[in-house]
């Protein structure tokens, strides 16, 4: 059986990225006596804490007891589950793999593997949105049913690594976004995007993401 | 005197060069060669171009050694929307028809290389049929995936007949192969015909299947070729390349190896294919492969898999809607081999000699690109 990975608290750090309306929420049954009810992050298991009302201050020991009781209940429900403590998820990573006790530590950079996955997911969402717009003449505001991918499959031949460069046909130095807007105005026959337009940002994200690993070479012709 | 940019001067000189040749239409080859030589001399003296890159000179020289038995013109990949949706692709298709009609002498016939429509709609195909009706020479049609996957070729067949056929002409056996079949990816996903068409129309849409001739098509081909002598030159028209170039963009035929095996017994085989919108050359065993240009837009070379015999065309100028697009001719030699002319609009045409491919690149190499892909 596939090992279950579990953590006790659905991290608040995930809030901005994950707390969309589409995320299922754990509906806790209220206690008849108005006691505190704590839910496990499996979305199913919960426990009523006798004698403690919501908002009461808990000691560390009480918290550990609640956690232990929840965990015990989960284990009873999943007797065959191979429990792996997600150590890598929980502990802040010092710079460098297998860092020694001497390694430097500071708050900035003290992110976990989970943090990185959340950031990665947020980034990929922007890239995916850019990909959607890149392939959609309506989203581009085009008027002749032409979308970027028709000439640039997988954003090929967009060479974002070569900007800024002097664009002879424009008579000035251009950035990638200038060329995106040029294409939107001309082959796509739409209106150029403002510099802070989220669609422009998403398009840039998608185009750059397709050139991962290519050396920057601004000014290249 | 008004200022003229380098480009303007260059284009004016070129216009006058080709204008002279057009006026010469009915003149003797001697006069033709004189004008060609003089114009090329002027251009060369100004350091503008290397003379042999001018197509018409090459043809004149070729005439000394390998006279074409006959000529086929081609137009391909017009990707028409209706005029109201997109007039640019319509203008490009009309331009190609006018160019072919201006050829003197006229080609024996015109090959249309597939993807007449963009989304396979009846009104797009009807518009295409109407534009192609203006061709003076007879027309041979080939189907592309953009024509097919809305109604699985129903309307296309009602306009142009079977998608797979063969004919003999001046000692050559021609076969038009339906090579853009795809295994059913739509039923399981519950797609509408429009969704299926949109999926196939996206070159980088990985949801679709890979192109194939399929078992039925291969069986048909085998049967068609059974009675043909191995010395008879074979020319295959196929929309997909009939080899494996780049899978992600369906520059690819899944059963290409099997199709090539069927063709292996013949001495002289040429495959003329659409779909890739670029100057594309390959040679596998006895088979020479030539890609066709599109009139609608050029495609970049794929990031990997480019056949080593391909001499890349210069990358397209994004500021010129016609650059990298074009049409061209197949000059069929007495041997049944083909000299292929890539008539790139706004550029000097490129002629690829049959010898270049049959010698595996050791002879007659076309001029190299000066603007390679990024």
Chain A: give the shortest CA distance to residue B27, in Å.
Answer: 40
Q: State the pLDDT at residue B374.
A: 86
Is B190 in the A-facing interface, judged by CB distances under 8 Å? no
Of B297, B303, B321, the CB nearest to A150: B297
pLDDT attached to residue B88? 95
What whole-number distance in Å separates Cα of residue B82 and Cα of residue A144?
Answer: 10
One DSSP character per residue, A86-121 reads -HHHHSPPPSSTT--TT----STT---HHHHHHHHH
Give yes or no for residue B251 having a pLDDT over 70. Answer: yes
Best of A137, A140, A149, A153 to mutate (most B CBs within 10 Å, chain B) = A153
Chain B closest CA to A121's CA: distance in Å?
21
Interchain contact A165–B (C-beta under 8 A): no
Is the pLDDT score of B62 beyond 90? no
**Does residue A154 surpass a pLDDT of 80?**
yes
Q: What is the pLDDT of residue A106?
A: 77
Its CATH class, for the domain covering B67-358, is: alpha beta
Strand (E) positions, chain A?
36-39, 46-49, 165-167, 172-174
Residue B215 pLDDT greater than 90, yes or no? yes
Cβ-based contacts of A135 with chain B (< 8 Å) = 202
Chain B residues near residue A183 by CB distance under 8 angstroms: 318
Q: pLDDT band at residue B18, thresholds of 50, 70 and 90?
A: low
> What is the value of pTM for the model shown?
0.75
Token pair for A29: 């049954």
- The answer, for A144 touching chain B at a CB cutoff of 8 Å, is yes
When mean pLDDT is compared across A170-184, B2-16, B76-90, the lowest value belongs to B2-16
Query: Given this model, what pLDDT does residue A26 score?
Result: 79
pLDDT at B35: 47
Contact A157 B303 (CB under 8 A): no
Q: How confident is the model at residue A81 (pLDDT cuts 50, 70, 90)?
A: confident
Domain boundaries, chain B: 6-56, 67-358
**pLDDT class of A219 with cuts at 50, 70, 90:** very high
Question: Going by C-beta distance under 8 Å and a sequence separation of 6 or more, which residues neighbour residue B319?
Answer: A169, A182, A186
The domain limits of chain A are 12-85, 119-209
| CB environment A85-122: b (16+ within 10 A), e (fewer) | eeeeeeeebbeeeeeeeeeeeeeeeeebebbeebeeee
Please report which confidence band the pLDDT of residue B66 belongs to, taking 50, 70 and 90 as the band edges: low
Would you call B202 an interface residue with chain A, using a CB distance cutoff of 8 Å? yes
DSSP A14: G
User: Would you give the distance in Å from CA B207 to the centre of its chain?
Assistant: 27
Under an 8 A CB cutoff, do B303 and A156 touch? Answer: yes
B2 — pLDDT class (breaks 50, 70, 90): low
Residue B122 has pLDDT above 80, yes or no: yes
User: Testing the interface with B: which of A128, A136, A152, A157 to mutate, by most B Cβ within 10 A?
Assistant: A157
Q: Report the C-alpha dihedral over residues A155, A157, A161, A163, rounded to 10 degrees.
A: -110
Query: In Å, how far are A154, B91, B286 from B327, measured between CA atoms?
Result: 26, 14, 26
Contact B137/B143 with Cβ under 8 angstroms?
A: no
Q: A119-209, what's its fold?
A: Cytochrome Bc1 Complex; Chain D, domain 2 (1.10.760)
CB atoms B300 and A182 under 8 Å: no
Is A138's pLDDT higher than 70?
A: yes
- Distance in Å, alpha carbon of A176 to nearest chain B alpha carbon: 13
- Chain B residue nearest residue A162, CA to CA: B374
Q: Higher model confidence: residue B282 or residue A6?
A: B282
* A7 touching B (Cβ < 8 Å): no
Q: Cα–Cα–Cα angle for B187, B190, B191, nearest 5°?
A: 90
For residue range B319-366, list pLDDT tens digits in order: 998 999 999 999 999 999 999 999 999 899 999 999 999 999 999 999
Does residue B208 carry a pLDDT above 80? yes
Structural element, H or E, at residue A221: none
- At B42-58, the pLDDT tens digits run 444 444 444 443 334 33
């Amino acid at each position: 059986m596939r090992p279950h990975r579990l953590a006790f608290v659905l991290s608040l750090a995930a809030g901005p990225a994950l707390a969309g309306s589409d995320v299922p929420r754990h509906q806790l049954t209220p206690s008849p006596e108005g006691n505190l009810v704590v839910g496990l992050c499996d979305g199913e298991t919960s426990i009523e804490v006798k004698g403690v009302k919501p908002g009461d201050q808990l000691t560390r020991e009480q918290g550990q007891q609640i956690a232990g009781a929840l965990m015990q209940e989960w284990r009873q429900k999943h007797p065959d589950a191979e429990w792996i403590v997600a150590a890598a998820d929980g502990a802040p990573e010092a710079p460098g793999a297998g860092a020694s006790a001497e390694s430097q530590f500071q708050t900035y950079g003290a992110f976990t593997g989970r943090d990185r996955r959340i950031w990665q997911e947020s980034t990929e969402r922007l890239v995916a949105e850019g990909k959607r717009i890149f392939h959609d003449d309506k989203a581009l505001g085009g008027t002749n049913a032409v979308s970027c991918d028709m000439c640039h499959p997988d954003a090929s031949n967009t060479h974002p690594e070569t900007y800024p460069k002097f664009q002879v046909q424009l008579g000035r130095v251009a950035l990638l976004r200038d060329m995106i807007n040029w294409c939107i105005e001309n082959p796509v026959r739409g209106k150029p995007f403002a510099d802070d337009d989220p669609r422009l940002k998403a398009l840039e994200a998608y185009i750059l993401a397709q050139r991962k690993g290519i050396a920057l070479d601004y000014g290249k012709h | 005197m008004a200022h003229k940019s380098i480009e303007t001067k260059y284009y004016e000189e070129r216009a006058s060069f080709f204008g002279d040749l057009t006026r010469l239409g009915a003149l003797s080859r001697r006069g033709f060669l004189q004008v060609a030589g003089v114009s090329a001399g002027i251009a060369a003296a100004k350091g503008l171009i290397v003379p042999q890159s001018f197509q018409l000179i090459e043809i004149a020289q070729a005439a000394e050694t390998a006279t074409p038995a006959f000529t086929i013109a081609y137009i391909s990949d017009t990707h028409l929307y209706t005029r109201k949706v997109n007039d640019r692709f319509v203008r490009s298709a009309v331009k190609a028809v006018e160019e072919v009609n201006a050829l003197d002498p006229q080609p024996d016939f015109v090959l249309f290389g597939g993807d007449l429509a963009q989304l396979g709609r009846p009104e797009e195909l009807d518009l295409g049929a109407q534009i192609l009706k203006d061709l003076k020479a007879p027309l041979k049609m080939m189907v592309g995936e953009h024509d097919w996957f809305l109604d699985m070729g129903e309307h296309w067949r009602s306009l142009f007949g079977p998608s797979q056929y063969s004919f003999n002409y001046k000692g050559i056996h021609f076969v038009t192969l339906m090579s853009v079949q795809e295994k059913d990816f739509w039923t399981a996903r519950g797609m509408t015909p429009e969704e299926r068409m949109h999926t196939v129309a996206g070159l980088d849409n990985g949801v679709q299947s890979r192109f194939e001739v399929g078992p039925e098509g291969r069986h048909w081909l085998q049967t068609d070729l059974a009675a043909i002598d191995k010395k008879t030159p074979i020319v295959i028209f196929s929309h997909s390349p009939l080899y494996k170039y780049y899978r992600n963009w369906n520059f690819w035929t899944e059963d290409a190896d099997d199709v090539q095996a069927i063709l292996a017994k013949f001495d002289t085989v040429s495959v003329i294919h659409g779909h890739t919108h670029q100057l594309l050359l390959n040679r596998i065993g006895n088979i020479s492969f030539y890609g066709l240009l599109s009139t609608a837009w050029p495609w970049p070379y794929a990031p990997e898999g480019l056949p080593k015999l391909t001499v890349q065309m210069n990358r397209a100028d994004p500021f010129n809607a016609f650059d990298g697009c074009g049409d061209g001719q197949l000059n069929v030699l007495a041997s049944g081999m083909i000299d292929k002319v890539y008539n790139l609009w706004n550029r000097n045409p490129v002629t690829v000699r049959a010898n270049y491919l049959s010698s595996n690149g050791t002879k007659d190499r076309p001029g190299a690109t000066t603007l390679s892909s990024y």
